[in-house]
Amino acid sequence: MGKDKLRRFAEIATFDNVLQLEEGKKLKGCWSSAQFNNNNPVVLELACGKGEYTVNLAKLFPEKNFIGVDYKGNRIWRGAKTAIEEKIPNVAFLRIQIENILDYFAPGEVSEIWITFPDPQPQVSREKKRLTFPKFLEKYKLIFKPGGMIHLKTDNDGLHAYTVEKIDELGLKLHARTEDLYKSAHVDEVLSIKTYYEKKYLVADKNINYLKFSFE
The residues carrying an active-site annotation are: 119
- 149, 127 Cβ separation under 8 angstroms: no
Residue 209: beta bridge partners? 154
- Cα separation of 85 and 105, whole Å? 27
Q: Name which of 89, 122, 103 is nearest 22 in CA terms.
A: 103
Residue type, 27: L
- 52, 127 Cβ separation under 8 angstroms: no
Q: Report CA 49 to chain centroid distance, whole Å.
A: 9
